[in-house]
Chain A
């Protein structure tokens, strides 16, 4: 407490840049002295304990901080998930029952599954293809890789803004400035045979727009929860099983999901191309001499060789998708059935002021990662054996 006040007082007296530099210097000296001090102390202990003590000294601070910053909050959250709105009364599993019965919550879970399957598969697929091809280029490898990788350097918020600009919808007769709608409304001609245009004025002063019957209408892509509003699908009846699945295809969720694919393909590509480089060249050459087709070489030699790498990427992507927050938060904020668990969690906390439900959603996110972690542990074990 007193340190905190001291800190606050200091903030008032010293100019901020000085203060920040001071804090950094004092902080790093402290960390350094901490390890040095521990090292000195260990020297006084009996020799046979040294190795263990050194282990504790090297690992200790990390474990302590993890416990404080991650484990403790996680436990508190699990505890809170069994309590009501303001955390006062124990209500058992009620928040979990709500999680799996509330309509919007079920849709959120569905979206999370779509994202998990879609993002992980597409990122791995694109990553493999681009990684494999670019790796064999004679020149330009670095250039292609940089292009694909660049989205990783931009924040999710920036990426979302970029894609929002592409999906942009404006009510007619305004000019469509989003790429998809703009190209859409400018083609063809209306029922009277007049050209359709994106609200453009030609040199002779005539105006071409798209409001007349026969021209394609712009579509609010991020608001389309299914395909029923798309002209080509209007006439499909949703009674048949397959067509009903088709018509209910949540196009907005998929379009938002693509933002994440765009962002993370570069990551997968880099990891895969490095792994591909590590494949001994003779193996592939042997395949070629045997007359195997390139597709076959890729599927039966390269892929099996990359099995563990694929698992690593899949693990990383699964964790990232479950944590995905910004893309939804800055585009639709979860409206039109596009919500994801991480955003839903914040909504329950901040919008509906329900700490219990918010905690329950957090716990669900946490639990969802466990299977893939177990998979990793099994893999680690089997590797250790071999």
Chain B
């Protein structure tokens, strides 16, 4: 009885609220949770987008990010106090939550799937699909198939940009002969050590064997992990990691160096005026980790060349990563935000123009977005590259993010760390171990 009276009063309250709001969603709140820290560059950028949305609709969207996203989100999903929208750093998170029945399909949020697909490519959309139903909204992507270098240092020494793997090795040998270390390489990452090595292998996989076709088979475990193609890729990686003097600080430094610090030696000069390293293969987001005085030079003083070609007969391919979001309820306010994020081609503008100086270098996966709006030269170039790759179906997502967690965040990472410290003789053991761990 008490309950019904209470319900009645709630109803009245709701009616009053509706009357005041004039049927609009004004004042409704949407809580969004993700991995990039709230007060970090990416978190601020996301909030800028939401502020535009709030201005347009009156719905108050708030972004909260946490360093411990991974564990907190699992707790949230169990607690019943779930955020309205969750940004997962990997599509795997969306798939898992959808399988557990915790997410709302995009269709129920009034998203026109064809329009969505035309903007974000069928490939990206397919990553958030479970049993034929699309749950995940593609969002930011980054490009991993790039190598950072400083043109001035190259020019000074007469080095030219390597277009093929062999040229890169020749250049590396030249640099060693000149008394320097060619590569920066650091793969330490709290609880995720190893992903940098897996990224290298993925880039090689895309450029050897059957290219993207083999890559997809590898991701879906249609070829075993110790297949000769995979072994070949591991050998390429080992060549970089284990050739003496290739990596700054030596092989020991690879596992000890925090990935965010890895490129710092490039900006430092030793007693002879030489930089610590001349090349660093790392995704576009690394700019945010650079020393503050080096960041404005992204795209000019420090810029990128594409990851070298290995098998010239294969079409070009680009490796990348990115986050994916999904809604946990079908409230109108939630739906409105999802629609805005996915289908409004100008939604990304505040991120691109670095409004209020958030400093984020996030790149949208929406091919309709005008890449000339990006403030930094480098993001403009990378944005255009990503757009082209997506349109040509040459873009592939980070394999370790797509494999089962036991592999992608478990054995693959840990065995690559072992490989880095144990040397080339460990390749077979590493691949066998990963194959055996596949669930």
Q: Is chain B in direct contact with chain A in the complex (CB below 8 A)?
A: yes
The stretch among B33-41, B159-167, B170-178, B244-252 that forms the contact with chain A is B244-252
B253 touches A172 (CB 8 A): yes
Question: In the complex, what residue of chain A is closest to B253 when comparing beta carbons?
Answer: A171
Contacts of A334 in B (CB 8 A): 191
Whole-angstrom distance between the alpha carbons of A229 and B254 in the complex? Answer: 12
Known interface pairs A5-B6, A172-B248, A335-B188; A207-B271 also in contact (CB < 8 Å): yes
Question: A134 at interface (Cβ–Cβ under 8 A)?
Answer: no
Chain A window 126-150, contacts with chain B (Cβ cutoff 8 Å), 1 for yes, 0 for no: 0000000000000000000000000
Whole-angstrom distance between the alpha carbons of A67 and B340 in the complex? Answer: 48
Q: Give the shortest distance, in Å, between B121 (CB) and chain A (any CB).
A: 28
Question: B400 at interface (Cβ–Cβ under 8 A)?
Answer: no
Question: In the complex, what residue of chain B is closest to A347 when comparing beta carbons?
Answer: B191
The one of B190, B262, B268 in contact with A199, judged by C-beta atoms closer than 8 angstroms, is B268
Contacts of A170 in B (CB 8 A): 257, 261, 264
The stretch among B212-220, B369-377, B404-412 that forms the contact with chain A is B404-412
Contacts of B6 in A (CB 8 A): 2, 5-6
Question: B255 at interface (Cβ–Cβ under 8 A)?
Answer: yes
Whole-angstrom distance between the alpha carbons of A318 and B2 in the complex? Answer: 50
Whole-angstrom distance between the alpha carbons of A332 and B414 in the complex? Answer: 13
A335 touches B193 (CB 8 A): yes
The stretch among A111-119, A285-293, A350-358, A366-374 that forms the contact with chain B is A350-358
Which residues of B184-211 have CB atoms within 8 Å of chain A's CB atoms? Answer: 184, 186, 188-193
Contacts of A171 in B (CB 8 A): 184, 186, 248-249, 253, 256-257, 261-262, 264-265, 276
Question: In the complex, what residue of chain A is closest to B410 when comparing beta carbons?
Answer: A352
Question: In the complex, what residue of chain A is closest to B271 when comparing beta carbons?
Answer: A207
B270 touches A173 (CB 8 A): yes
A349 touches B71 (CB 8 A): yes
Question: B96 at interface (Cβ–Cβ under 8 A)?
Answer: yes
Question: In the complex, what residue of chain B is closest to A337 when comparing beta carbons?
Answer: B414
Known interface pairs A5-B10, A171-B248, A336-B193; A346-B265 also in contact (CB < 8 Å): no
B248 touches A351 (CB 8 A): no
Question: B74 at interface (Cβ–Cβ under 8 A)?
Answer: yes
Which residues of A1-43 have CB atoms within 8 Å of chain B's CB atoms? Answer: 1-2, 5-6, 9
Q: Give the shortest distance, in Å, between A122 (CB) and chain B (any CB).
A: 26
Question: B100 at interface (Cβ–Cβ under 8 A)?
Answer: yes
The stretch among A74-82, A216-224, A259-267 that forms the contact with chain B is A216-224
Question: A161 at interface (Cβ–Cβ under 8 A)?
Answer: no
Known interface pairs A174-B265, A206-B271; A220-B257 also in contact (CB < 8 Å): yes
Question: A50 at interface (Cβ–Cβ under 8 A)?
Answer: no
Whole-angstrom distance between the alpha carbons of A172 and B181 in the complex? Answer: 11
Question: B282 at interface (Cβ–Cβ under 8 A)?
Answer: no
Whole-angstrom distance between the alpha carbons of A219 and B190 in the complex? Answer: 17
A174 touches B268 (CB 8 A): yes
A223 touches B255 (CB 8 A): yes
Q: Give the shortest distance, in Å, between A215 (CB) and chain B (any CB).
A: 11
Whole-angstrom distance between the alpha carbons of A346 and B73 in the complex? Answer: 12
Contacts of B249 in A (CB 8 A): 171-172, 217-218
Q: Give the shortest distance, in Å, between B385 (CB) and chain A (any CB).
A: 28
Chain B window 61-86, contacts with chain A (Cβ cutoff 8 Å), 1 for yes, 0 for no: 00000000011011100000000000
B257 touches A352 (CB 8 A): no
Question: A333 at interface (Cβ–Cβ under 8 A)?
Answer: yes
Question: In the complex, what residue of chain B is closest to A230 when comparing beta carbons?
Answer: B252
Q: Give the shortest distance, in Å, between B279 (CB) and chain A (any CB).
A: 14
B74 touches A349 (CB 8 A): yes
Question: B417 at interface (Cβ–Cβ under 8 A)?
Answer: yes
Whole-angstrom distance between the alpha carbons of A171 and B258 in the complex? Answer: 9
Known interface pairs A171-B257, A333-B190; A352-B74 also in contact (CB < 8 Å): no
Whole-angstrom distance between the alpha carbons of A347 and B413 in the complex? Answer: 14
The one of B100, B257, B271, B414 in contact with A209, judged by C-beta atoms closer than 8 angstroms, is B271
The one of A104, A333, A352 in contact with B405, judged by C-beta atoms closer than 8 angstroms, is A352
A104 touches B271 (CB 8 A): no
Question: B3 at interface (Cβ–Cβ under 8 A)?
Answer: yes
The one of A2, A169, A336 in contact with B3, judged by C-beta atoms closer than 8 angstroms, is A2
Contacts of A277 in B (CB 8 A): none
Question: A180 at interface (Cβ–Cβ under 8 A)?
Answer: no
B191 touches A335 (CB 8 A): yes
Chain B window 1-42, contacts with chain A (Cβ cutoff 8 Å), 1 for yes, 0 for no: 011001000100100000000000000000000000000000
Whole-angstrom distance between the alpha carbons of A172 and B71 in the complex? Answer: 34
Q: Give the shortest distance, in Å, between B239 (CB) and chain A (any CB).
A: 20
Contacts of B276 in A (CB 8 A): 171-174, 211
Whole-angstrom distance between the alpha carbons of A349 and B78 in the complex? Answer: 11
Which residues of A159-192 have CB atoms within 8 Å of chain B's CB atoms? Answer: 169-174
Known interface pairs A169-B257, A171-B257, A335-B417; A352-B265 also in contact (CB < 8 Å): no
A346 touches B3 (CB 8 A): no
B2 touches A2 (CB 8 A): yes
The one of A209, A217, A332 in contact with B270, judged by C-beta atoms closer than 8 angstroms, is A209
A336 touches B255 (CB 8 A): yes
Question: A379 at interface (Cβ–Cβ under 8 A)?
Answer: no
Whole-angstrom distance between the alpha carbons of A229 and B255 in the complex? Answer: 12
Question: A365 at interface (Cβ–Cβ under 8 A)?
Answer: no
A104 touches B262 (CB 8 A): no
Q: Give the shortest distance, in Å, between A298 (CB) and chain B (any CB).
A: 43
Known interface pairs A171-B264, A171-B265, A209-B271; A351-B253 also in contact (CB < 8 Å): no
Question: A254 at interface (Cβ–Cβ under 8 A)?
Answer: no
Q: Can you give 23 contacting A-B residue pairs, CB < 8 Å?
A: A2-B2, A5-B6, A171-B262, A172-B249, A172-B276, A173-B276, A174-B276, A217-B250, A218-B249, A219-B252, A220-B253, A220-B257, A223-B255, A333-B192, A335-B188, A335-B191, A335-B192, A335-B417, A336-B193, A336-B417, A347-B191, A351-B405, A351-B409
> With contacts A171-B256, A208-B271, A335-B188 known, what are 17 further pairs, Cβ within 8 A?
A9-B10, A171-B248, A174-B268, A207-B270, A207-B271, A219-B252, A220-B188, A220-B252, A223-B255, A333-B190, A335-B190, A335-B191, A347-B191, A351-B70, A351-B409, A352-B405, A352-B406
Question: Which residues does A use to contact B, with CB under 8 Å?
Answer: 1-2, 5-6, 9, 86, 104, 169-174, 199, 206-209, 211, 217-220, 223-224, 229, 331-336, 346-347, 349-353
